[in-house]
């Protein structure tokens, strides 16, 4: 059954010293795709700056603002309405023999086509030492393996906010075994890529049921490509497969390609950013 979504995104930036000029880029608009139909976008800011739409380097829609007059504080508010179709992650035709899929992902053509999502990046680099490791079990299907990896990651890390930030690399995450959704996702991506499975980092919104992580913030999960099934979403933070509770905004190689807010601010001194997200749904 399809869901009607209403998403609210709010952010507030406070600058210690006044700012002469600034650029912001928001990567927060839900993607239009086969399971998501975007109905409306509304975006306001406290300075009344004119917004413009553009795209990022991977083609995802961005909202841009450019402030050219002195200010000290700015707040942003966005709301999106969309219809999300049901997703059944099990709805695909498995390869007749499990080995075929493993052979397929080893072919040169496949590795060339999916090179961007097989590549190790700064945030998906596995430290050589102290890693329990995850190996594909070739006696079961690739899909089952990735489900196991999802669960493995979920169990390996403990969800804890405030321990990591956007610059934390896997080395530290693995040492502390603590982190938030982007850390879970980076670890999942790293291990899947190490095993030759293309995965992309996804940023978006999660409609909360009770007890799931990702509340009131933007969420992150992974999409893995399986020759039998195409791109399938895995949420290692919650050990779930992606369904109609997940609203995708963008994807990339890691967090760096998906950061929801980028700013270029001409000012000295510190600044503080706060943001929150509200997602509500109604069944159609």
Q: At which residue do the structure tokens 């906010």 appear?
A: 161
Q: Nearer to other proteins by C-beta: 70 or 119?
A: 119
The yes or no reply on residue 51 touching other proteins (CB under 8 A) is no
The yes or no reply on residue 64 touching other proteins (CB under 8 A) is yes
Backbone angles phi, psi at 76, to 5 degrees: -125, 150
Pairwise CA distance, residues 125 & 30, whole Å = 28
Pairwise CA distance, residues 105 & 197, whole Å = 7
The yes or no reply on residue 129 touching other proteins (CB under 8 A) is no
Backbone angles phi, psi at 233, to 5 degrees: -90, 135
Contacts of 206 (CB under 8 A, 6+ apart): 212, 214, 215, 219, 235, 245, 246, 247, 279
- With CB under 8 A as the contact rule, the residue among 43, 58, 104, 231 that binds other proteins is 58
The yes or no reply on residue 148 touching other proteins (CB under 8 A) is no
Helix (H, G, I), strand (E, B) or coil at 17: strand
- With CB under 8 A as the contact rule, the residue among 73, 81, 85, 262 that binds other proteins is 262
The yes or no reply on residue 48 touching other proteins (CB under 8 A) is no
The yes or no reply on residue 272 touching other proteins (CB under 8 A) is no
Q: Nearer to other proteins by C-beta: 112 or 129?
A: 112
The yes or no reply on residue 47 touching other proteins (CB under 8 A) is no
Q: Nearer to other proteins by C-beta: 66 or 175?
A: 66
Contacts of 200 (CB under 8 A, 6+ apart): 117, 189, 222, 223, 231, 251, 252, 253
**Cβ atoms of 283 and 241 closer than 8 Å:** no
Segment near other proteins (CB under 8 A); pick from 31-39, 54-62, 92-100, 131-139: 54-62
Residues 149-188 that bind other proteins (CB under 8 A): none
DSSP letters along 184-224, please? Answer: HHHHHHHHHHHTT--EEEEEEEE---TT-S-TTS-EEEEEE
**Cβ atoms of 98 and 59 closer than 8 Å:** no
Q: Nearer to other proteins by C-beta: 62 or 176?
A: 62
The yes or no reply on residue 115 touching other proteins (CB under 8 A) is yes
* Long-range contact pairs involving 163-170 (C-beta distance under 8 Å, separation at least 24): 166/255, 166/259, 169/122, 169/123, 169/125, 170/123, 170/124, 170/125, 170/126, 170/127
Q: Nearer to other proteins by C-beta: 119 or 175?
A: 119
For the record, the structure tokens of 195 come out as: 């095993």
Q: Nearer to other proteins by C-beta: 118 or 220?
A: 118
- With CB under 8 A as the contact rule, the residue among 39, 47, 55, 97 that binds other proteins is 55
Nearest distance, CB of residue 6 and other proteins, angstroms: 28
Q: Nearer to other proteins by C-beta: 93 or 109?
A: 109
Nearest distance, CB of residue 57 and other proteins, angstroms: 3
- With CB under 8 A as the contact rule, the residue among 109, 129, 210, 270 that binds other proteins is 109
**Cβ atoms of 260 and 7 closer than 8 Å:** no
Name the residues that contact other proteins, by CB under 8 A.
23, 25, 52, 54-59, 62, 64, 66, 108-109, 111-113, 115-116, 118-119, 253, 262, 264
């Amino acid at each position: 059954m399809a869901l009607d979504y209403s998403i609210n995104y709010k952010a507030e930036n406070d600058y210690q010293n006044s700012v002469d000029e600034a650029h912001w880029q928001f990567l927060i608009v839900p993607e239009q795709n086969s399971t998501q139909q975007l109905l409306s976008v509304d975006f306001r800011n406290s300075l009344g700056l004119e917004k413009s739409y553009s795209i990022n380097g991977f083609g995802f829609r961005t909202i841009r603002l450019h402030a050219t007059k002195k200010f000290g504080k700015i707040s942003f508010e966005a709301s999106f309405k969309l219809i999300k179709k049901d997703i059944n992650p099990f709805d695909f035709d498995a390869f007749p023999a499990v080995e075929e899929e493993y052979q397929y992902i080893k072919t040169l053509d496949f590795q060339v086509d999916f090179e961007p999502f097989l590549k190790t990046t700064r945030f998906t680099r596995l430290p050589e030492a102290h890693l329990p490791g995850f190996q594909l079990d070739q006696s079961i299907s690739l899909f089952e393996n990735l489900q196991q990896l999802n669960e493995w990651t979920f169990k390996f890390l403990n969800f804890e906010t405030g321990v990591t930030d956007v610059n934390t690399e896997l080395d530290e995450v693995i040492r502390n075994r603590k982190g938030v959704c982007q850390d879970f996702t980076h670890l999942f991506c790293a291990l899947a890529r190490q095993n030759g499975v293309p995965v992309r980092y996804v940023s978006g919104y999660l409609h909360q049921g009770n007890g799931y992580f990702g509340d009131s913030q933007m969420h992150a999960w992974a999409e893995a490509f399986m020759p039998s099934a195409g791109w399938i979403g895995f949420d290692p933070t919650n050990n779930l497969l992606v369904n109609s509770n997940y609203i995708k905004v963008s994807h990339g190689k890691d967090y760096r390609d998906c950061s929801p807010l980028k700013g270029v601010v001409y000012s000295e001194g510190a600044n503080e950013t706060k943001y929150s997200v509200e997602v509500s749904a109604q069944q159609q």
